[in-house]
C-alpha cells in the first residue's frame, strides 16, 4: 500500500471515531493517535511527496476541528482563534508535547473534555481547552518548574496577556483594547437543518446522476454531488431551481482550507462518519447557489423607514442599515455571508438581521442620546485561563 493510501486510511479511521465522540470512545487517546499521525507525517522520508505530507497534516487538523465545533460555541471559538499562526511542529516539541498530554489526561479525570490546541486549525490561545457542562478552562502547559517571578516581557508575557484578555472578555462580555471597546451582544443566528443535509447527501448517493438538490427558498439551493457527477448533470438539476441570472456560487470544499469559528468545514458536520470522510476527501461535494440581492428589505417602524441594503465590495458582501435614508449601522460580511457558507436559508438570516436592526433602533430611542450599556450585552461565560508548570523534582 502506498504512503498516500495509508494516510487516507488513517484519516478515514479517525473520522469514523470522531463521529462517535465524545459520548463513545476515549477522547484523549483519539487525540493521541491523531497527534502521532501528524508527527509521523512531519518525519516523513525525503522520498515522500512533501506537498502530500503537508496536505495530510492539514487534513488531520481539520478533522480535529470537528471536536472543537462539537464542544465549543462559536463565540468561544472566535475568541480563542484571534491569534492565528503557522501550525506548530509537534515533532520538535518532544517531551514538552508529552507534558501537554499528561495535563490533558489529568483534566479529563477532573470531568473536563480536553482539546489539544496544536491539533486544530482553530485554537490560537493556550495548549489545552477543557470543556465541561459548567464552563471552559484554558491551560498553558510549561514543562518546567514555576519561576520565582512572572515574566513581564517576551513571549511568555505575551501569551499570558492574550489568555487573560480572553478571560476578561468572555467573563464580562467587554474588553477595553485601548483604541476601541469590544463588547459581546446577544444575537442568535438560525441553526442549520442537519436532518435535511443528511437527507440531501443520502439522495445524492442514491441518485443515478450522482447529484441532488435541496431548496432552502426561492433562488436559494444547496447541491450535493459525488466526484463522478459531471458538470452537465449538476447544471441540469440546478436550472430547475434557480431563476436568477447571476446567483452567487460557492463550493463548500473551500472551507477545508479556510474554515473559521462560524464557517465550519463540511467534515465537521454532524452527519455519519463515512460521509464526513467523503466530504473531507472531495468524494462528496456541496455547492451553494443563492441570489444575495434577496437580502434587500424595507420596513416602517413607528414612522421611521428602515432599509436593509446589500453592498458588494472586494468580493465580500456587507449589509448596511439605513434609517430614513441615512446610514445607521453595518453588518460585516461574516454575518451577511453566514447563509452563503453554511446550510441556512437566506430568508432566515435576513429576518434575524431585520429583527436585530429593530432592536438597535429601539435601544437608541430608549437611550435618548445618553451613554448607556447595551441591554442585550451577552451574559458572561464561566471561563478560566491558567498556566500549569511541572512540579519541582522530589516535591
pLDDT per position as a tens digit, 47-72: 678 899 999 999 999 999 999 999 99
User: Is residue 371 scored above 70 in pLDDT?
Assistant: no
Q: Average pLDDT for residues 131-154, to the nearest whole number?
A: 92
Q: What is the pLDDT of residue 364?
A: 72
First to last CA, the chain: 50
For the entire predicted model, the pTM comes to: 0.92
When the pLDDT of each residue in the chain is averaged and rounded to a whole number, the result is: 91
Q: Average pLDDT for residues 7-31, to the nearest whole number?
A: 96
Whether residue 304 has a cis bond before it, omega within 30° of 0? no
In tens, the pLDDT along 329-367 reads 888 888 889 999 999 999 999 999 888 888 878 877 776
Cα 116 from chain centroid (whole Å):
16
- Cell readout for 21 is 465522540
Cβ(116)–Cβ(126) below 8 Å: no
Q: What is the pLDDT of residue 336?
A: 86
Any alpha helices (H) in 43-191, and if so which ranges?
50-71, 74-80, 95-109, 154-172
In tens, the pLDDT along 178-190 reads 888 888 888 889 9
Q: What is the pLDDT of residue 139?
A: 98
Cβ(38)–Cβ(90) below 8 Å: yes
Any idea what the Cα angle at residue 311 is, between residues 310 and 317, rounded to 5°? 90
In tens, the pLDDT along 71-97 reads 999 999 999 998 767 898 999 999 999
DSSP states of 327-373 as a string? EEEEE-HHHHTHHHHSS--HHHHHHHHHHHHHHHHHHHHHHTT----
Is the torsion defined by CA of 170, 171, 173, 178 positive or negative?
negative
- Residue 21 burial by Cβ neighbours in a 10 Å radius (0-12, 13-18, 19+): middle
How far apart CA 58 and CA 166 sit, in angstroms, is: 26
Q: What is the pLDDT of residue 46?
A: 60
Residue, of 113 and 301, whose pLDDT is higher:
113
In tens, the pLDDT along 248-293 reads 999 999 999 999 999 999 999 999 999 999 999 999 999 999 999 9
The region, left, alpha or beta by phi > 0 then psi within -120 to 50, assigned to residue 293 is: alpha
* Stretch (H or E) spanning 285: strand 284-290
The total number of residues written for the chain in this structure:
395
Query: Of 304, 353, 46, which is closest to residue 189 (Cα–Cα)?
Result: 353
How far apart CA 50 and CA 42 sit, in angstroms, is: 9
How far apart CA 36 and CA 143 sit, in angstroms, is: 20
In tens, the pLDDT along 224-254 reads 999 999 999 999 999 999 999 889 999 999 9
Amino acid at each position: 500500500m502506498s504512503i498516500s493510501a495509508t494516510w487516507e486510511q488513517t484519516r478515514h479511521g479517525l473520522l469514523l471515531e470522531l463521529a462517535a465522540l465524545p459520548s463513545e470512545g476515549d477522547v484523549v487517546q483519539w487525540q493521541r493517535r491523531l497527534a502521532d499521525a501528524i508527527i509521523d507525517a512531519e518525519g516523513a522520508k525525503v522520498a515522500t511527496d512533501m506537498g502530500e505530507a503537508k496536505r495530510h497534516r492539514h487534513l488531520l487538523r481539520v478533522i480535529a476541528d470537528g471536536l472543537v465545533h462539537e464542544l465549543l460555541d462559536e463565540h468561544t471559538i472566535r475568541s480563542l482563534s484571534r491569534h492565528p499562526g503557522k501550525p506548530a511542529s509537534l515533532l520538535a516539541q518532544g517531551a514538552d508535547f508529552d507534558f501537554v498530554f499528561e495535563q490533558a489526561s489529568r483534566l479529563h479525570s477532573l470531568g473536563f473534555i480536553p482539546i489539544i490546541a496544536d491539533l486544530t486549525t482553530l485554537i490560537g490561545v493556550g495548549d489545552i481547552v477543557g470543556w465541561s457542562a459548567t464552563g471552559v478552562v484554558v491551560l498553558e502547559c510549561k514543562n518546567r518548574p514555576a519561576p520565582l517571578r512572572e515574566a513581564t516581557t517576551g513571549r511568555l508575557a505575551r501569551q499570558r496577556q492574550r489568555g487573560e484578555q480572553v478571560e476578561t472578555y468572555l467573563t464580562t462580555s467587554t474588553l477595553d483594547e485601548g483604541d476601541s471597546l469590544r463588547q459581546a451582544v446577544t444575537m442568535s443566528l438560525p441553526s442549520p437543518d442537519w436532518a435535511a443535509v443528511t437527507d440531501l447527501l443520502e439522495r445524492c448517493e442514491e441518485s443515478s446522476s450522482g447529484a441532488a438538490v435541496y431548496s432552502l427558498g426561492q433562488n436559494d439551493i444547496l447541491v450535493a454531488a459525488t466526484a463522478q457527477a459531471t458538470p452537465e448533470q449538476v447544471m441540469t438539476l440546478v436550472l430547475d431551481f434557480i431563476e436568477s441570472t447571476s446567483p452567487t456560487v460557492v463550493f463548500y470544499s473551500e472551507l477545508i482550507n479556510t474554515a473559521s469559528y462560524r464557517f465550519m468545514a463540511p467534515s465537521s458536520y454532524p452527519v455519519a462518519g463515512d460521509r464526513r470522510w467523503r466530504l473531507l476527501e472531495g468524494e462528496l461535494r456541496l455547492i451553494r447557489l443563492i441570489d444575495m440581492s434577496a437580502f434587500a428589505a424595507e420596513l416602517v417602524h413607528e414612522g421611521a423607514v428602515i432599509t436593509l441594503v446589500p453592498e458588494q465590495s472586494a468580493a465580500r458582501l456587507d449589509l448596511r442599515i439605513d434609517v430614513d435614508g441615512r446610514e445607521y449601522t453595518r453588518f460585516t460580511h461574516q454575518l451577511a455571508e453566514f447563509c452563503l457558507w453554511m446550510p441556512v436559508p437566506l430568508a432566515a438570516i435576513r429576518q434575524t438581521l431585520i429583527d436585530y436592526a429593530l432592536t438597535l433602533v429601539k435601544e437608541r430611542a430608549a437611550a435618548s442620546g445618553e451613554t448607556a450599556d447595551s441591554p442585550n450585552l451577552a451574559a458572561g461565560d464561566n471561563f478560566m485561563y491558567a498556566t500549569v508548570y511541572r512540579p519541582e523534582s522530589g516535591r
